[in-house]
Amino acid sequence: MTEQNFSSMRAAMVESQLRTSDVDDQRVIAAMARVPREDFVPAERRAMTYVDRPIPLPNGRALNAPLVTGRLLREAQVEQGDRVLLIGAATGYSAALLSALGAQVTAVEEDGGPELAGFGGTLVRGALKDGAAAGAPYDLLFIDGAVEEVPAALVQQLADGARVVTGIVDRGVTRLCSGRVVGGVLGLASLTDIEMVVLPGFAIPERFVF
């Protein structure tokens, strides 16, 4: 696959997947048209780079489909200089896009997780649910996948008024959600059902009833 082939496929992805599916933020579209997604896909999977479905990664993880990334970025409303806590960095594609939009990115990925391509931010290796408290407070929490719940430990690392975008797993269905933290409390609104990669380590603990 040549660079020209990938460039053509990237342009087609923008026109057929993003513009037709409520990704109408021109800054997001420009960033996704410019950042070469193929650089963040394992060599053996590069033929799938711009297909609208998740791409399997080592250790059972997966890279979200381009449309999911575009929708998350649209709802994130990234501003120049935003301090962003990215949970589930995977190969670094979303981190690179956030950086391209002017954010200061702290990306969290698990020990032994996928190797990240360069993105111009800070990488923290550790449990996704723990975040990166040393860099707090953050203006935006960007969870690059779906979780059963957003842990209090992550909410506590956010500034008052911080924005949050994530997927939520609800009875087996993944939903795109966004919200804000006000007075230390996170309020989330469900936007749409969408197939998202489910991140490990965010299961709601079982509650015993006596």
Query: Residues 120-138: pLDDT tens digits?
Result: 789 999 999 999 999 999 9
- Given a cut of 70, is residue 209 above it in pLDDT? no
Give the separation between CA 192 and CA 21, rounded to whole angstroms.
12
* Structure letter (DSSP) for residue 202: -
In this structure, the number of other CB atoms found within 10 A of the CB of residue 137 comes to 14
Task: State the chain's mean pLDDT as an integer.
Answer: 93
Q: Which domains, and CATH codes, for the chain?
A: 3-193 (3.40.50.150)
Query: Residues 17-73: pLDDT tens digits?
Result: 998 888 999 999 999 999 999 999 999 999 999 999 999 998 789 999 999 999 999
Give the separation between CA 25 and CA 59, rounded to whole angstroms.
33
Mean pLDDT of all residues in 80-94? 96
Give the separation between CA 6 and CA 14, rounded to whole angstroms.
12
